[in-house]
Amino acid sequence: MTGAECLLETLAANGVEVCFMNPGTSEMRFVAALDRVPAVRGVLCLFEGVATGAADGYARMTGRPAATLLHLGPGLANGLANLHNARKARSPVVNIVGEHSTQHQRYDAPLSADIAGLARPVSGWVRAVNDAAEIGAAAAEAVAAANEPPGQVATLIVAADVSWSPAVPAAGRVAEARRARPDDAAICRAVESLRRPGTAILLGGRCGQARALEAAGRLHAATGVAVLVERATPRLARGRGLFQPPVVPYFPEPALEALAGARTLLLVEAQPPISFFGYPNTPSRLLPDRCEVVTLAERSQDGTAALEALCGMTGAPPARWTAEAPAPRIPEGPLTAEAIGAILAARLPEHAIVSDEMVSASGAVLPYLAYAAEHERLPVTGGSIGQGLPVALGAALACRERKVVALEADGSAMYTLQALWTMAREGADVVSVIFSNRRYQILEIEMMRTGSLGMGPAAQSALDIARPDLDFVRLSEGMGVPAERAATAAEFDRQLTAALEARGPRLIEAVLG
């Protein structure tokens, strides 16, 4: 058995079933070994940022790590942005990076780089293997490290000659670390907090999922405690019939207003809220000065079990939730972000997965999704754009029975547009909606917020992506994904309905009026 076969056998034995890859010369033995170890399926991506983003999406939906395969330091560098998002999402990812053979590493070859140095800022665990005798144990250790609560990127750097040398797989499967429930003292402190006026709960981590939201809703109904959700919660259940607490707003002023009444903030797999950026004359910390912060569950702990324990100790009964108003009617006229939101609310199928990278359009669309069928939303977690299409790809391959809808801004779509090609190749059931306003509109807002004295022609040009216009229909079709363009609400409704009824990838360029 070669080191490459040993690596794949160990990954498979530890539950890793898919590897999103963009390999090069140093990884060819790994690629060849895929035919001999079919338990791990290779998924080719045309850009490393697609591979790392897809691994993040896959991990968010399964709770298990996918692997990536990247080529040396430059390949890793191309994938760093979405590894950053995966780190912020606490997604388990086994990030495999090829290295030059051990005898070649002494030379400053053209592709030589400090791979470990590049990997450390986005990884919770890094190990380089230069001896084939270590590869089985190192691979098992990488999977265990990725799975360590709350989840992290584990980077394994594998020299080329390790892959072609004889090796022996690690014996058995490494036991997975389980999330611990907070101790009784933390739960008792939380109960005391709930008895005081002005207490709010902030949910993060895995507590955006349905079971945790149900428990939080019971506490809200029984005690009146305010409940909010971290903006970067990696997986958030939404829709009719669910308790849908508000997300902490993006901009600091409305966030400060939402938290102004908090005297005690109870953290459940969350951190004290801060603003996304620092602004002139605006505080970064989004809590009142008098607010006491109490931790119920750390990010590595089981916040859902803690919330359910609180329900038991407070006697909170089950509660039912319905949308406060009926879903909006299908609008007419020009296509706007609000119209897209209303149409999505009416058409989104049950249990859909929504990959959200709408950026400036999100404030107009997301309120409508409260009236949609029950679904799960995967937001950008680390602020690095180019996540939406790759995460949708990974989610679709993780949950082939569920429809995935990618809501994607036009500027950020261009960072990882190659994801469409892999969607076509894999038959991924993704409907991609491109919000086409031909501007980096969020940056226009940020230009004003940072105190700019105005936008002259040079500044305007830096935010304008309409010269020349991007043609997403032709771009999509060129990568094998059928596409249409909608400029009115009626056109978008017709195209979205047809795309949701079909199987496989589709794209709609939504030209905003």
d(CA 240, CA 373): 6
C-alpha 78/C-alpha 83 separation (Å) is 10
Residue 84, pLDDT > 80, answer yes
pLDDT at 178 over 90: no
Residue 456 identity: G
Gyration radius from the chain CA atoms = 24
Strands 18-22 and 66-70: what pairing? parallel
pLDDT digits (tens, 9 = 90+) for 297-317: 999 999 999 999 999 999 999
C-alpha span between 404 and 448 (Å, rounded):
35
In this predicted structure, what is the pLDDT of residue 441?
60
CA distance 419 to 82: 13
Query: Mapping DSSP to helix (H, G, I), strand (E, B) and coil, where does residue 236 land?
Result: strand
pLDDT of residue 440: 62
Q: Say if residue 505's pLDDT is above 80.
A: yes
Residue with tokens 């230009």: 447
Alpha-carbon dihedral angle through residues 424, 428, 433, 434, given to the nearest 10 degrees: -40
> How confident is the model at residue 453, as a pLDDT?
58
**β pairing state of 226-229 and 66-70:** unpaired
| Residue pair 104/131 in contact by the 8 Å Cβ criterion | no
pLDDT for res 116: 98
CATH placement of domain 184-314: 3.40.50.1220
Using the predicted structure, report yes or no on whether residue 1 has a pLDDT greater than 80: yes
How large is the average pLDDT for residues 191-211? 96
Instruction: Quick: pLDDT tens for 351-394.
Output: 999 999 998 899 999 999 999 999 999 999 999 999 999 999 99
d(CA 8, CA 142): 12
Residue partners of 72: CB distance under 8 A and separation at least 6: 24, 26, 97, 98, 99, 100, 111, 113, 115
What percentage of the chain has pLDDT greater than the value 90?
86
What sign does the dihedral 291-242-92-169 (CA atoms) show? positive
CA 152 to chain centre: 13
Q: How confident is the model at residue 172 (pLDDT cuts 50, 70, 90)?
A: low
Average pLDDT over residues 7-32: 96
Q: Which residue has the higher pLDDT, 175 or 117?
A: 117
pLDDT-derived band at 488, boundaries 50, 70, 90: very high
Q: Residue ranges per domain, the chain?
A: 3-164, 184-314, 337-511
- Provide the mean pLDDT of the chain: 94
pLDDT band (50, 70, 90) for residue 97: very high
Q: How far apart (Å, rounded) are the C-alpha atoms in residues 94 and 175?
A: 16
Q: Which three-class secondary structure state does DSSP give residue 451? A: coil
Is 184-314's fold the same as 337-511's?
Answer: yes
Encode pLDDT of 430-479 as tens digits: 999 999 987 666 666 666 666 665 667 777 777 777 778 899 999 999 99
- The CATH H-level (homologous superfamily) assignment of domain 3-164 is Thiamin diphosphate (ThDP)-binding fold, Pyr/PP domains (3.40.50.970)
Residue-level length of the chain = 513
Residue with the two structure tokens 């590493």 = 105
Start-end of H helices in 183-298: 184-194, 210-223, 252-258
- Just give the CATH number of 337-511: 3.40.50.970
Are the CB atoms for 340 and 435 separated by under 8 Å?
A: yes
Residue 228 pLDDT: 98
HEC per residue, 7-41: HHHHHHHCCCCEEEEECCHHHHHHHHHCCCCCCCE
Mean pLDDT to the nearest integer, 388-417: 97
pLDDT of residue 139: 96
Say which residues have a Cβ less than 8 Å from residue 144's Cβ, sequence separation at least 6: 14, 174, 175, 176, 177
- Given a cut of 80, whether residue 195 has pLDDT beyond it is yes
Q: What is the pLDDT of residue 451?
A: 62
> Does residue 76 contact residue 52 with C-beta atoms inside 8 Å?
no
Q: Which residue has the higher pLDDT, 319 or 328?
A: 319
Report whether pLDDT(177) > 90.
Answer: no
- Under the banding of pLDDT at 50, 70 and 90, the label for residue 220 is very high
